[in-house]
Each structure stands twice: as structure tokens, then as C-alpha cells.
Structure 1
Amino acid sequence: MLYITIFAFTLYCIVMSIRTIFIPNAIKGKLVSVENFLYLAFVYITILIGFGLIYILLETKGYEVMVEAYPLPTESFFERLETYIYFSAVTLFSVGYGDIAPIGVGRMIAMIEALIGYTIPAAFVAKAFIENERE
């Protein structure tokens, strides 16, 4: 039950973070500003950590999510979490390096994360441009 609650909360945080891009007046002022940069950085950080937690929760429940090309011989929980957050970052910001590959249910989750990673900048720029044109 605890895993379901953590999973649901993590998913809620990801969805609410993405939702803020589409809320009117979320992006204010100039197109390029420290406030807008920090806003976008926090959206990315929330999504990155959220997906990392989803991956490790699935592994903890016994699902195979990824396979590493160079696994470490013994890894603690925090080292695994670090690996999953790294995998999440590489998936969110690029196509991947090839040192870690998703398998099983991890493939579908990685596809969703990559899609989110590619659409956030476009949505952010479009929203900022539309808000700037209104002013």
C-alpha cells in the first residue's frame, strides 16, 4: 500500500508540474529572465526526480526496468536511486548514451518521459511567446 501511495503522489507531482506550463500567467515578464529560467528548471527537476522514483519503485516491487552495460558489483539503495535518476535525466534530456537500456515496462515509461522531455521546451517557448504577444 505504501508503494502505491508513493507512486500516486509522484505521478501527481509530475502531472501538476507539467500542468503549470499551460496555466495562464504562469510565465511573466520578459521572454528571457531568471524567474522563467528557474521556473523551467524546477519543472524539469520535478519530472526528472519523479520518473527516477517511479523506476526505483517498480524495481523494488520486482519489475525489471533497465539493464546496465557496466553494472557495479554491489549497490546500495541510494546508489541504485542515483543510477535511476541518472537514467531519468539522460532519457528526459536526450535519447540516451547506451550505457543503460530500458526493458519490460521501463520501455513504455521511458518513451513517455522522452516525449515529455521533447515537448516541454516547445510548450514553454510557445506559451512565453503568446504571453508576450498579449502584452
Structure 2
Amino acid sequence: MIAYLFILIIIFCISMSLRTLFLPNALQDKFLSWESFAYLFFIYSTILLGFGLLYFICMENGIAVIQENEELLSGSTLHTLQTCIYFSGSTLFSVGYGDVTPIGIGRVISILEGMIGYTIPASFVVRTVVDIQQERG
């Protein structure tokens, strides 16, 4: 039961982080500045750690979501956590390397994470262009 509460909290944090990309004034006065890069860094960090923890919680509760080298992920808790965060990062920033792969419900979760990974830079650029046009016009 606690695991489901943690999953809901993680999903809430991810949602709130992504929500800021779509608010009209979220990036106001931050066009191409260090603040913009820091802002993106924190969004990416939230998503990466959030999904990594989702994978980890599932694995720790007996729900197989990822496998390593075509075998179910096993080992110490620290190794599982590191592998889950690594998989989350490789899924968020690329299509992965193939050494860690999703299985079962993990496939759906990783597709969602990959879509978010591609949406963040696009929405950031669109939001910046729209804000610049509103400022000029």
C-alpha cells in the first residue's frame, strides 16, 4: 500500500514539473539565459529520478518492469536502484542502449517516458518563441 502512495506522489511531482512548461508565464524573462538551462536541468532531473523511482518501486514490489542483459534484474537494492535510474536516463534522453530493456508494463511506462523526453525540448522552444512574439507584438 505504501508503494502505491509513493507512486502517486512521484506521478504528482512529474506532472507538476511538466505543467510549468505549459504555463504562459513560466519562462517569462528567461529567454536563452542560464536560468533557462537551470530550469530545463531541474525538469529533466525530476523526470529522470521520478521514472527511475517508479521502475525501482515496481521492481522492489515484485512487478518486473526491466531486465538486464536479457535476464530479470537481480542483485542488491543499490544495484537495482542504479540500474533503474540508468534505464530511466537512457530512455529519457535517447532510445536506450539495449543492455537494459523494459518488459511487461515497463514497456508502456518507458514509451511514456520517451514521449516526454522528446516533448520537453519541443515545448520549451515553442514556449520561448511564443513568449518572444508576444513581447514584440
CA distance in 1, matches of 2:109, 2:40: 22
State which drifts further: 31-40 or 74-83. Answer: 74-83
The CA deviation at 1:23 is 0.9
The CA deviation at 1:29 is 2.3
After TM superposition, the structure 1 = structure 2 runs for residues 1-135 of structure 1, keeping only pairs within 5 Å, are: 1-69=1-69, 75-135=75-135
Paired amino acid for 2:2? L
The CA deviation at 1:82 is 0.9
The CA deviation at 1:31 is 2.6
Give deviations 1:103-128, integer Å, cap 9, x for gaps: 00100000000000001100010001
The SS at the match of 1:67 is strand
TM-score, normalised with respect to structure 2: 0.92
Segments of 5+ residues of structure 2 without an aligned counterpart are none
Q: May I ask how many residue pairs the two structures share in their alignment?
A: 134
The SS at the match of 2:31 is coil
Segments of 5+ residues of structure 1 without an aligned counterpart are none
Give deviations 1:9-44, integer Å, cap 9, x for gaps: 000000110001011211122531000100011000
Paired amino acid for 2:122? A
CA distance in 2, matches of 1:104, 1:12: 23
The CA deviation at 1:74 is 6.8
Q: Which runs of 4+ in 1 moved over 3 A?
A: none
The SS at the match of 1:96 is coil
TM-score, normalised with respect to structure 1: 0.93
Question: Root-mean-square deviation (CA), in Å?
Answer: 1.6
Question: Are the equivalent residues in 1 in contact too, given 2:55–2:106 (CA < 8 A)?
Answer: yes
The SS at the match of 2:16 is helix
The CA deviation at 1:70 is 7.8
